[in-house]
Amino acid sequence: MSEPTPRIVTCPTCGTAVKWTQGNAYRPFCSERCKLIDFGAWIDEEHKIAGNSVEDDLLSGQLDEG
Ligand SMILES: [Zn+2]
């Protein structure tokens, strides 16, 4: 018997190819770090509303370049 080829997914945080296996507890993320970053992204949005104009300006500049 040969093992089935694991499905490859892309980490939503960093774009790394990740094997979708039962051994990967962080799927579809490549690591715990990327999972936490993604979960924290919307929390950061809440914090920015609370008031951090400097960081908001930096992020806006990055978006304009895209
Ligand atoms: Zn990642």
> pLDDT tens-digit profile of 6-52?
899 999 999 999 999 989 999 999 999 999 998 887 666 666 666 55
How far does residue 10's CA lie from ligand 1's centre (Å)? 8
Which helix (H) or strand (E) element contains residue 47? helix 32-51
- Determine the pLDDT at residue 55: 58
How far does residue 19's CA lie from ligand 1's centre (Å)? 12
pLDDT band per the 50, 70, 90 thresholds, residue 4: confident
pLDDT over 90 at 65, yes or no: no
How far does residue 24's CA lie from ligand 1's centre (Å)? 12
pTM: 0.55
Report how far apart, in Å, the C-alpha atoms of 27 and of each of 10, 17, 30, 37 are.
9, 11, 6, 14
Q: Please name the amino acid found at residue 33.
A: R
- Determine the pLDDT at residue 41: 77
